[in-house]
Structure 1
Amino acid sequence: MSEKHELTVPAVVGVLGGGRMGAGIAHAFLLAGSRVTVVERDGVAADAAQERIERDLAKSLERGSVDGNLEEWSENLTLSLNHEDFADAQLVVEAVPEVWELKIQALQEVERNLAGTAWLATNTSSLSVDGLAEHLARPERFCGLHFFNPVPASKLVEVVLSKHTGDELRALSVQWVKGLGKTPVVVNDAPGFASSRLGVAIALEAIRMVEEGVASPEDIDNAMVLGYKFPVGPLALTDIVGLDVRLGIAEYLASTLGERFEPPQLMRDMVARGELGRKTGKGFFDHGS
C-alpha cells in the first residue's frame, strides 16, 4: 500500500555531502515534498550523488511504497558545488565524514551562507553535538539528526539535542522526522548518543568473539537474529555500516567512555587490509558480485 505524507518538513532543504548517507537524506526529503539542494566537493562526486539519488527514487516507485512522480522529484533536486546555493534553504543537514575538524569546518562554512532564520543539523553518529555547537555563531539553531543506513529503508532518526538547542528547534526537529514518515528518538547529547553507543558495544563484543574463536560470524549473527529477534546480526550490520566507520566511532567512544569501547585488534587489522564490508566486497562476510 502506498502512503503519502503532508508537507510538515521544510519546503527548501540543503544537504552537504552526497555520499550514501547524504543521498539517502536527500531522497527522504524529496519524497516528503521538499526542494533539495545537495552540495558536493567536485563535479564527479556531484554526478555520482545525482545518479545515486535518482536510482533510489526510482526504486521507491517500483516498490510501491510511495506515491509520486519521478520527473517531479528530479526537478526538485539540484546538485551544486557552491555553498552559496544554500542561501534560501530553511534547513541544511551536514553529512560529511566523521572527522572532527572536517565537521567543524563544514558546519562553519554552511552557516556563513545561511539566512539567519535557517536551521542547521549534523548527521553525526557519535561526535559531540555540544562540542560542534560551540564552534557555531548560532548554536541555538543547531541539533543532530542522526539518520540510519540505508536511509530509504530505515524508520528511525535519532534527534540529538545539545545544551544550546533552542526550544523551537526541539519541537520542529521531531515534527520534521515524523513528516518524513520516520520515528524520532530524542536524546540529549552524550558520547555515541543512544543508538551508536549500544549498537557499537554489541558489535565490538561480537568481533571479540570471532577474534577469540568462540564461534563463526554466521553462527554469532544467527544467535542474535533467531534468539533475540535482531533483524540483522551485529557482524552483518557492521559490514553494512563499514568497518572503518565503526572503528572511528569505537575509537571516539573509547577516548570518552573508557577502555570497554577499545576496538579489537581483529577490527583494526581488517580495516588495514581494506576489508571494510559491503562497500569493498569483503568484511566478516563476502559481498562479491
Structure 2
Amino acid sequence: MLSPTLRTTLNIMSTIRTQMNLAAANRLSTVHRHLSTTSQVNKIEKLTVFGAGLMGAGIAQVGAQSGLKVILSDVTDKALENGLNIISKSLSRVAKKKSPDDIEGFTSNILKNIETTTDAAKAVQDSDLVIEAIIESIKVKRDLFGFLDEKAKAECIFASNTSSLSVKEIAESCSNDRQARFAGLHFFNPVPAMKLVEIIKTPQTSTETFEALKEVTLRMNKSPVSCNDTPGFIVNRLLVPYLLEAIRMVERGDATPEDIDTAMELGAGYPMGPFKLLDFVGLDTTSYIAQGWREKAQSGEISKELVEPIGLLDKLVKEGKLGRKSGQGFYEYDNKK
C-alpha cells in the first residue's frame, strides 16, 4: 500500500506529464496550422500569361502541361489565335514522343487547361501568378503591372520574363506590398525545350515569393537558378560581353567568324559558336541589349569597356542584316527552305 506522501508525489508527476503532453500537442497543432497555411499561400494553381508570342505561348504551354489552369492574354484576338497555333504545333511535336497513338487526344487535353482573353483585368482576377512576356520596353511593362496591381488579388505574385531590364524598376510601378511579391522569371527560348529558368530577386522580393516561384518552376519540369537583380542576370551577363568581344575580334581582323565559331565549338565545347548564336538571337536584339547596358555603365553597374559601341555591329543592323530572320547576318541563310 502506497504511503500518502508517495501517492501525492505520483499524482503531481502525473499532472505534470499531462500538462506537458497537452503543451506538446498544442505546439504540434500550431506547426501543422502554420504549414497548412503556408502551403495554401504558396501553392500556385492559376497562371496568367501576358503576351501570346513565342515566349508567352511557350510559358502558357509548359504551365498547362504541368496541370496549371492558364489564361493567355494579349491585346487582339488575332494575337491570341496565333499564340494558340504556336502551342498546338508544339504540343503535336511533344505528343509524337509521349503519345504517338493519340496525338490529337494528348494535344486536346492540354489545351483544355488554357483560356484566352483580351480583357486584362478579367485575366488576373483569380490568378495566383502573373507572368509578363510582352515587348522589352520598361515603360510598357510598368504601365501593364501598374494597372494589374489594382485588379489582381492581394496574394497574387507578379513576375516579368524580361531578359535585360531591371526587375526592381519594373516592380516600382506597383504598391509596396506587391513589390514583396514581385520577381523576375526569365525563361529561355524555346520554352518547352529549354530547362533553365532564372529567378531574379529584387531587394524587396520576399522569401515566400521566391520559394513559390521555385516550386512552380520545378512543377513545370524546369531547372530554376537564383540571381540578384543585376544587369543580364546570370546567362546574359556572361554571354553578351562574350558575343560582343567576338565581334570586336572580327572587326580588328584577328580571325574570321567561321574560324572563331569552329574554335569555340571544338576548343571550348560550345554547341554553337558566337556568330551562329548571334545570327540566331538577332543582331538587332544584341545591339538593343548593349545600348541598354551602356546606360547601366554610367551608374557603375557594369564595366563601360564591356559594352562600348562596335562599328561593325551597328553597320550590319543599319543594313538590315539581322541574322537568320532577315536571311543574312554574319552568315547567309535560305529562308525559303
Q: Same fold (TM over 0.5)?
A: yes
Tell me whether 123-132 or 235-244 shows the greater mean CA deviation.
Answer: 235-244
Q: What does residue 4 of structure 1 align with?
A: none
Q: Report the structure, 1 or 2, having the larger helix content.
A: 2
Larger RCO: Structure 1 or Structure 2 (Cα < 8 Å, ≥ 6 residues apart)?
Answer: 1
User: 2:118 aligned to 58, 72, 81, which one?
Assistant: 81
Q: Deviations over 1:166-203 (max 9, x none)?
A: 11011111112211111111011111112111110111
Q: Does 1:277 align with 2:323?
A: yes
Q: Does 1:159 align with 2:191?
A: no
Q: Does 1:110 align with 2:148?
A: yes
What is the CA distance between 1:242 and its match in structure 2?
2.1
Amino acid at match of 1:218: E
Q: What does residue 51 of structure 1 align with?
A: 85
Amino acid at match of 1:170: F
Q: Does 1:189 align with 2:229?
A: yes
Give yes or no for contact 1:9–1:179 (8 Å, CA) kept in 2.
Answer: no
Q: Deviations over 1:41-98 (max 9, x none)?
A: 2122122111111111111222449998210111212222110222111111101121
Q: What does residue 59 of structure 2 align with?
A: 25
Q: What does residue 160 of structure 2 align with?
A: 122
Q: Where do residues 163-242 of structure 1 align in structure 2 (5 Å cutoff)?
A: 163-242=203-282
What is the CA distance between 1:105 and its match in structure 2?
1.1
- What secondary structure sits across from 2:200 in the alignment? strand
Give yes or no for contact 1:98–1:248 (8 Å, CA) kept in 2.
Answer: no
Q: What does residue 91 of structure 1 align with?
A: 129
CA RMSD of aligned residues (A): 2.1
Q: 1:64 to 1:206 in 2, by over 3 A?
A: farther
Taking only the aligned residue pairs, the percentage that are identical comes to 38
Distance 1:239 1:109 in 2: 36
- What secondary structure sits across from 2:180 in the alignment? helix
Distance 1:95 1:101 in 2: 14
- What secondary structure sits across from 1:36 in the alignment? strand
Tell me whether 61-70 or 222-231 shows the greater mean CA deviation.
Answer: 61-70
- What secondary structure sits across from 1:248 in the alignment? helix
| Ranges in structure 2 where 5+ consecutive residues have no aligned partner | 1-41, 297-301
Give yes or no for contact 1:149–1:241 (8 Å, CA) kept in 2.
Answer: no
What is the CA distance between 1:9 and its match in structure 2?
7.1
Please, what TM-score do these two structures have when normalized by structure 2? Answer: 0.78
- What secondary structure sits across from 2:130 in the alignment? strand
What is the CA distance between 1:112 and its match in structure 2?
2.9
- What secondary structure sits across from 1:208 in the alignment? helix
Q: What does residue 71 of structure 1 align with?
A: 108
Give yes or no for contact 1:204–1:263 (8 Å, CA) kept in 2.
Answer: no
Distance 1:28 1:223 in 2: 35
Q: What does residue 311 of structure 2 align with?
A: 265
| Ranges in structure 1 where 5+ consecutive residues have no aligned partner | 1-7
What is the CA distance between 1:26 and its match in structure 2?
1.2
Q: 1:64 to 1:269 in 2, by over 3 A?
A: farther
What is the CA distance between 1:101 and its match in structure 2?
1.0
Distance 1:154 1:261 in 2: 27
Q: 1:175 to 1:211 in 2, by over 3 A?
A: same
What is the CA distance between 1:122 and its match in structure 2?
0.3
Distance 1:30 1:243 in 2: 32
Distance 1:60 1:275 in 2: 33
